[in-house]
A and B are shown apart, each in its own frame.
Chain A
């Protein structure tokens, strides 16, 4: 059973819709629809075409880049070897610096 509420103004304005015709889309609706479907097929269904996914992919790339830069900086801070430059040089050229007596 429909609820009866006293809404005279709504009912009055609803009368303005009496005799209303259904609105129709512009001519060649089907042609435009097919053109859109074909265009979508041509561009393929690349996930990067969806804005949300494209932004998420970009965020992941930026995050990975940031992590790589931070890691690079950390690596640069640490000395490569714990040995002195003289010892490195000797090792590189295989020089025995021990004293011969």
Chain B
């Protein structure tokens, strides 16, 4: 068990035990955040690993202006966005050259069933996630963090480094966008 201060000091010293403790303490939060954004378990695992590697390598640059958890969330969101952008590039390439990377078509049309959702709600949740995936990037992140993950608006402002008004506006627009999409799915 480490306090946050001790943990940061030990991580800077590359203490193996401290790093293990960090990973075991944060892996679920990091993986869950990334999975909600990426909607793919293999990509989420890969990105979650990258988050901890980044933390291990750059803890020396952490200035403790924010909480360690907020800093880790920020890295997680950034890694998830990197993966999303790369996926979009691959999908665009696939549209141009369908014979190249044939698996891209499957991943683009795959339905995401969140492993943590109750069985009775799986289908409705899958539709909601499908609609979330089509949202613009910032709206998707704000909505996912606050409405799916249950993070507070205050913490979301620190993670996304946006004002509370900006975050509220993003969530509001995301809800409207989802409303339109869900209406179309129903019709």
Using CB atoms and an 8 Å cutoff, list the residues of chain A in contact with chain B: 1-3, 5, 7-10, 13-26, 29-30, 32-33, 36-37, 40
Contacts and interface: CB of A to CB of B under 8 A. Distances in A.
Interface string B40-60: 010011001100110010000
B87 interface: no
Contacts, number: 104
A94 to B, nearest CB: 68
**Chain B interface, >50% SS class:** helix
B172 A17 contact: no
13 contacts: A7-B178, A14-B147, A16-B117, A17-B148, A23-B41, A24-B31, A24-B32, A25-B28, A25-B31, A26-B45, A29-B45, A33-B23, A33-B53
B121 A16 contact: yes
Interface in B3-35: 20, 23-24, 27-29, 31-32, 35
Contacts of B176: 5, 7
B179 interface: yes
B118 interface: yes
Contact of A22 (B24, B28, B128): B28
Kindly state the interface size class of chain B when it binds its partner: 35 or more
Interface string B91-126: 000000000000000000000001111100100110
A23 B116 contact: yes
B69 interface: no
B125 A25 contact: no
Contacts of B23: 29-30, 33
Contacts of A1: 168
A23 B178 CA distance: 23
Given A10-B179, A16-B124, A23-B35, 18 more contacts: A1-B168, A3-B168, A7-B178, A8-B179, A9-B182, A9-B186, A13-B124, A13-B127, A14-B128, A14-B147, A16-B121, A18-B118, A20-B118, A20-B148, A23-B116, A25-B45, A29-B27, A40-B53
